[in-house]
Structure 1
Amino acid sequence: MEKKKAKVAIIGAGVSGIAAANVWKKCGYEVTLFEASEQVGGQWNQTYPGVSLQNTAPQYQFSEFPWPFKTDRHPSGEDVLKYLNQAVEEFALTIQFNHRLKAMTADPQGWQLTFENGNSHHFGYVVIATGQYPGGDQKRLPRFNNMDLYQGDIITNIDSKEVFKDKNVAVIGFGKTALDFATWSSETANTTKHIFRTPRWTIPDYLLGIDYTKPFFARIGSGMMPSWGASTWMQKLLHNRLPFIVNGFWRLICNLFLYQHRQDAKLGSIEKKVLDVVIPPKSQFMADFRSASALAPKRYYEYIAHQGISPYRGEVSAFYEDGIILSDGQKIPADMVCLCCGNEAPNYDYLPKKYAQFLQINGGPSLYRHQIEPRIPNLGFAGYNHGFMHIALAEMGALWQIAAYEQTFQLPSEEDMLASAARVMQWKKDHSSYESTINMAVNTRYQQHLDILMQDMGISQWRKMPNVFAEVFSRYDPTDYKGVIKEYLTKSQQTSFGAIKPTVAVDA
């Protein structure tokens, strides 16, 4: 068990890094978290005031550390940071703050890490947990013609909702930030115009009065989600032999979403076509369930219907002194333009070039099981399987990496792992709406992904059994994975996992 003595470095003390560090520590490793800033939280320290968690609190917690204080259904950013700080204390994690990684040098025993403050340390294994957008507050600022002529304000982030007050605001984009900004702007601005090339399907918080997580986080719902890999025989049967059932199910859900958005818009006697400009075609419904799927902000559709927000489908081609010009020549006057175009994509300049080249892919790194790049030794990733049950995904991903590192199950050949990752990447390209970091997420395919990780490790994926009804119809929460680490440790001591065969074919 020599590898048990290896020291492990986790780069990044956001939620994924904290989750990974706790799992590695519980498995007997000496773990140090390195954080570039002065506090834990990652992106939660860089976000805008008023932001809240898109997911619900029960779906966003560590499996063995439920929320220790009362919070909203969708916790505020402040509450998330409070929870993460309490988790660090509960897990007794070691964190080195103000340590921004400068370089990594590989050797037969692991990695030599050099930080910008001059410190240098050696570790046997390193986990990159800097997230999908390690640039932090480096929001994308695309360049348009004549931007320098514009006399108003161009912003990518806000310090307060008050920035919109008495302004004529134009919001560009259709992600969560754009939807939030447009909604908030309409409450205090003189005018709010929302411009986007393509609208996306958004998720109603409640569907016919039912918490949306209850049907979609139960296997009866999650199993209906098309994915690159089926994790049960029932999924294989449904998607390969009975696709008409799957298609019918999602047509029904699409119509229910549409009905709910109209209800939330409080149309009254207003013609329902008023929402058409922000409602995508039904054929786009499944493709929009990518990693950046947004929960519909409260009152967004109401403001659209009641002219609090003026929506425009179009593409910005240029600026002029008093606003922006769309590709069709239409001028949109505005004294504030909010460019909500996402964050800068991650880079890996601190890695040797021979390894960094494997990660610089359009859409983000394409990893085997969203965990490792087979050509880079002693290196794993946390949070690159981002999804609707993110913390459980990060925890089980870390445990999978430990099992792979300890060789307690048989990995496929390098060639097969690379082929598997390529198939997953191609599936996402073929079945998902574009996103700059699409390879770094599993999103609504979280249950299939979790199941596959468990199958690889030889641990039961059925976390609610022997209650069959609960297994099929009850919502899965991160707490269902409480005890999995203990199961792994017990089994690794009692059984030789070497006989477990790789399951690469599952995501073919």
Structure 2
Amino acid sequence: MVYAGLQGMPGVVRSYYTGDGTDVMQWLEKNALQPFLRPLTKRVADAAGGNLVRALLAAYCVRYKRRPLIVIEFNMYMTRTALSNMLHTARQLGFEEKLATFVIVVSAFTTADAHAYIERHLPFPDIAAAITDLGGSADECLQRVRKHAENNVGHADMVLSGFRAIARHKVAFSEDASLAFFARLVANAHVVQAQPGTSTSIQAGTSVLDEEAARVAFGFDERDSLFAALAKWCAFEIDPFSGRISEPSHFMRITIEEYLAEAKAAPTSPGSILKQQGFEAVLFERERRPGGVWAKTYYTATLQNVGFQYCLPDFTFEDADIEVDFHPTAAQIQAYLETAIKHKGLDVRLLHNIESATRIEPFDSSEADKSLKTELKSAAFETAPNGERASDTPAPIGFELDRAVSRLETGNGWLVCGTSPDGPFEERFDFILTATGLYTQPRPDGIPGQALFTGRILTPAEATPDTLRSLRKADKTVAVIGFGKTAVDLATDCADSGVKTVLVFREPRWLVPLKINGLHFTWALCTRMGTVMVPCWDYPTKATRFLHTHLSLLVAGFWAMVQMVTWAGFASHAWFKGAAARARIAALRPKTPLIDSLRTASVLEPPSFLDHVASGAIEPVHGAIAAYCNDGLKLEDGRTLRADAVLPCLGSAAPAFPFLPAGERALLEGMEGGPQLYRHLIHPRIPGLAVLGVNHGFLHFSHVQLSVLWLIAAWRGELLLPRAAAQEEAAALIRAWKAAHELPTAQSHCGVHARFAHYLDVLCADLGVRAVRHAFPLSAVMRFSTADYARVAEEYDALRAGERARGGALRRPVSDHIM
């Protein structure tokens, strides 16, 4: 029954033992381990202290990334001495040295006989009771075996996913070819006719497919890399001498059949761009709902740009069957994100809090590690009878050993640890994308004197219609602190609800007007003709560079005109309404040029905000707050503002990465204004990690789409990046430019905002795809949309396919822009 439960399980060593217990080590070496690890030599045994069993077990652990499960069966006539020797060996190799896991099986005629044998040979009541409790009737044993089989089907599913993930990293991977490959594995079992005179056929269990079928399915260019991948996942038996692979294990076969059935019935969704490019992605979300700030923002929050600029290119709000405002609300965006997650089949794990993410370190330089590397390297290559290496070709079983040493030498991947509703967890990943948001770190209310204030201090999320209605009925005054998007929006909400509102700010900022000369602002700022006039730290084309270097007076005049028109539009809200109205509007006039405000924290003008200011429903107060006081706020110039409730909207702090080690945190959090990264994505001294989403701009979804494709190309080695020092120099130049030309914020160094078109053009140039997505003159006047970049991944794949057709692989140096 135990054999039936373990049939076909990868990594199980099974054998029947009839000795007296004194030759257990020799029996393990000869009957259990050498058939699995035959090419290992005496040289490795000498390096392990002369004990070949320990060397074999250690090599097994390196090759399969886990300890072997050794099932030893003997009958109930084995002597106490023999059993004692057997258990001593199992304890030493298993519990103490942790080289293997042993399962000792006693064959007996009945359960009672097995219990009697154990009680007779283990005269320790507690141990005997604990062991015999594992017995039971045949039905109970069968249930345990079935449960074991279910667990191993789950294990096989994990192995299958991992093997397909390896394959997808290969250039020639084909989803259709992989399905056909698995179907053939299941269908093409060899059947051997039984003895003459019988009608029964015996399934041999060794159906094979030729090497070429696997290479076509999984895109492995070399025979060695195919076998290394097969060995890594320990799910297929291989014959490297004939270049053939056998059918999967029993549980692997079950899992493949289920996978094929699910793939046949699954809807045809393209999945995420990571999935399309062969990467398996897991999204860890700390909250109960996905969506980041949209899941817990204030009641009336809306998107500053428009719906067709804030969605996936192949799955719009209309595709999600969501009626959406021109500027979508938080609720509409939240509904869209949740629908898109289901449509794309993303692996999103809610209520998973990441506590640490640490790089898996390479071998150190200690003598022990050097010795171990030497042992493993020698085991990975064929050796001649005289002990010298016969060739530079890895031995058949040494492919994975050699690869394992290479990984240990360089370090590879990240170990992610955290907590979930099911308890602590840890998983290993090749890469990490941190997408924790640009505005998710709250800035604490550091204004002193809160204990003195007798009124109510509200958070933005507490400014609900019911709260504002109660304040209006009680004739209360609300002081809103700040001049960012949240402050301006909530001051407008308070005034819309009839609440007396005071807006207190240190400095006024330029608002982005909803309309410019009667046209929606996106016609000015979100077309190529408009974005080409935006100054930037670098320019993607010679024409834009010439414009800003040789015709800078023209650019300056253009923005002076835009600033004049914008302020005239703001001032018009006070026309013919008296001196007091004009004074209130004048209090909002910034001292800095408009172009310097087109940064990460630009604020779109709420529709009724300026009318409320002109009418006095919102009283603007220009001044710095010194402290709370008994009945309101005290300013640094000595003025006191009476307020019954205070609504601090102090913005967000720079992005934080508390789950990273101290060294990596210092690199990312040590800059004022947030991390300035190469291509606004990576820090060259933190390999395998990218900061996604903080490269914020008007076309945010397209930023993310092209950024992910850029990262995939870089991780696959298809983009040749400059050396680390050159990347850091480029980031420093951008940081210096922003410091000189943009108003500082907590996130100044992160985003690209109004320079979004320049940024997208540079990413396209790096990837070798078209930057201008429409033909002239439409390209100059059409508003940017995420749909413009819908086929970028296809264009890039076509480049890769073209290089393969010419017998090479895609290798592109990035452009020399410092974007």
Amino acid at match of 1:411: L
Quick one: which amino acid aligns to residue 268 of structure 1? Answer: F
Paired residues for 1:320-331 under 5 Å = 320-331=629-640
Q: Contact 1:34/1:96 (CA < 8 Å) preserved in 2?
A: yes
Aligned twin of 2:427:
121
Deviation at 1:51, TM superposition (A): 1.1
1:85 matched residue in structure 2: 338
Question: d(CA) in 2 for partners of 1:64 and 1:266?
Answer: 45
1:189 deviates by 4.8
Cα pair 2:460 2:490 within 8 Å, conserved: no
Distance 2:631 2:812 in 1: 65
Percent of paired sites with the same residue: 30
Alpha-carbon distance in 2 for matches of 1:497, 1:48:
50
**Structure 2 residue 409 is the aligned partner of structure 1 residue 99:** no
**Is 1:262 aligned to residue 571 of structure 2?**
yes
Aligned to 1:408: 718
Paired residues of 2:697 and 2:755 also in contact (CA < 8 A)? yes
Please list, as runs of the form range in 1=range in 2, the aligned pairs for 1:338-417 lying within 5 A after superposition: 338-360=647-669, 361-417=671-727
* 8 Å contact kept, 2:512–2:604: yes
Question: Aligned ranges for residues 96-495 of structure 1 at < 5 Å?
Answer: 96-107=349-360, 108-117=411-420, 118-135=424-441, 139-159=442-462, 160-164=464-468, 165-166=471-472, 167-263=476-572, 265=573, 267-271=575-579, 272-281=582-591, 283-360=592-669, 361-464=671-774, 467-495=775-803
Matched, 1:507 2:818: yes
Q: Is residue 39 from structure 1 mapped to residue 292 from structure 2 by the alignment?
A: no
Instruction: Give yes or no for contact 1:186–1:303 (8 Å, CA) kept in 2.
Output: yes
Residue 161 of structure 1 aligns with an amino acid whose one-letter code is P
Between the aligned partners of 1:409 and 1:50, the Cα distance in structure 2 is: 43
**Cα shift at 1:261:** 1.8
Letter of the structure 1 residue corresponding to residue 576 of structure 2: G
Aligned-pair distance for 1:188? 3.2
Q: After alignment, is 103-112 or 341-350 more displaced?
A: 341-350
> Which residue identity lines up with residue 594 of structure 2 in the other structure?
F
Q: Secondary structure at the match of 1:383?
A: coil
Q: Helix, strand or coil: the match of 1:119?
A: strand
Distance in 2 between residues matched to 1:168 and 1:251, nearest whole Å: 38
- 1:11 alignment counterpart: none
In structure 2, relative to structure 1, the CA distance for the partners of 1:284 and 1:3 (3 Å cut) is farther
Residues 719 and 811, structure 2, Cα contact 8 Å, conserved in 1 = yes
What TM-score comes out, normalization by structure 2 length?
0.58
C-alpha displacement at 1:337, in angstroms? 0.9
Give the C-alpha shift of residue 215 in structure 1. Answer: 2.4
**What amino acid maps onto 2:294 in structure 1?**
W
* Structure number with bigger Rg: 2
- Provide the secondary structure at the position in 2 that maps to 1:357: helix
Measure the CA separation in 1 of the matches of 2:644 and 2:577.
Answer: 33
Query: Hey, what's the Cα distance between the residues in 1 that align with 2:301 and 2:548?
Result: 37
Aligned with 2:647: secondary structure?
Answer: strand
Give the partner amino acid of 1:349: P
Equivalent AA in structure 2 for residue 126 of structure 1: I
Preserved CA contact (<8 Å) 1:409 1:497: no
Which shifted more, 448-457 or 487-496? 487-496
Q: Which amino acid in 2 is paired with 1:35?
A: E
Q: Give the Cα separation in 1 of the matches to 2:499 and 2:339.
A: 42
SS at match of 1:116: strand
Task: Mark the runs of 5 or more structure 2 residues left unpaired by the alignment.
Answer: 1-164, 171-270, 361-410
Report the Cα distance in structure 1 between the residues aligned to 2:524 and 2:306, rounded to whole angstroms: 14
SS at match of 1:324: strand
CA distance in 1, matches of 2:440, 2:300: 21
Give the count of matched residue pairs.
Answer: 486
Contact 1:172/1:194 (CA < 8 Å) preserved in 2? Answer: yes
Q: Which amino acid aligns with 1:256?
A: V
Shift of 1:317: 0.5
Q: 1:156–1:339: 8 Å Cα contact kept in structure 2?
A: yes
> Are the aligned partners of 2:799 and 2:810 in contact in 1 as well (CA < 8 Å)?
no
Secondary structure class of the residue paired with 2:668: coil
Separation in 2, partners of 1:70, 1:323: 42
Is this contact kept in 2: 1:133–1:344, CA < 8 A? Answer: yes
Give distance in 1, aligned partners of 2:532 and 2:293.
Answer: 30
Of 371-380 and 344-353, more deviation after overlay is shown by: 344-353
RMSD of the TM alignment (CA)?
A: 1.8
Could you tell me which amino acid in structure 2 is paired with residue 507 of structure 1? I
Whole-angstrom distance in 2 between the partners of 1:345 and 1:433:
15
The question of whether the paired residues in 1 share the 8 Å contact of 2:584 and 2:620 is answered with no
- By relative contact order (CA 8 Å, sep 6+), the higher-ranking structure is 1
Q: Secondary structure in 1 aligned to 2:719? A: coil
Distance in 2 (alpha carbons) for counterparts of 1:131 and 1:325: 34
Call closer, same or farther: CA 1:140–1:406 in 2, change over 3 Å.
same
Query: Residue type of the partner of 2:346?
Result: L
User: Is there any run of 5+ residues in structure 1 with no aligned partner, and where?
Assistant: 7-20
8 A Cα contact 1:393 1:450, kept in partner: yes
Instruction: Select which of 295, 315, 327 maps to 1:74.
Output: 327
What is residue 53 of structure 1 aligned with on the other side? 303
Aligned partner of residue 101 in structure 1, secondary structure: strand
| Paired amino acid for 1:44 | W
Tell me how far 1:408 sits from its aligned partner: 0.9
Report the CA distance shift for 1:144/1:242 in structure 2 as closer, same or farther (over 3 A): same
What whole-Å deviation, never above 9, does each CA across 1:62-104 have from its counterpart, x for those lacking one? 1111212331111111100111112112211111111111111
Equivalent residue number for residue 374 of structure 2:
none
Partner of 1:456: helix, strand, or coil?
helix
* Matching residue's letter, 2:299: P
Letter paired with 2:794: K
- Does structure 2 retain, via aligned residues, the 8 Å contact 1:141–1:156? no
Q: Give the aligned residue type for 1:95.
A: V
User: 2:578, 2:702 → 1: CA distance?
Assistant: 43
- Amino acid corresponding to residue 494 of structure 1 in structure 2: G
Cα deviation, 1:371-407, whole Å, max 9, x if unaligned, reads 1111111111210211111111111111111111111
CA distance in 2 between partners of 1:199 and 1:357 (Å): 33
Structure 2 residue matching 1:62: 3-state secondary structure: coil
> Which has the larger helix fraction?
2
**Retained in 1: the 8 A contact 2:283–2:349?**
yes
Contact 1:141 1:339 (8 Å CA) reproduced: no
Show CA shifts across 1:154-199 (max 9, x none).
2232330332332211111000110011111123355211110110
SS at match of 1:318: strand
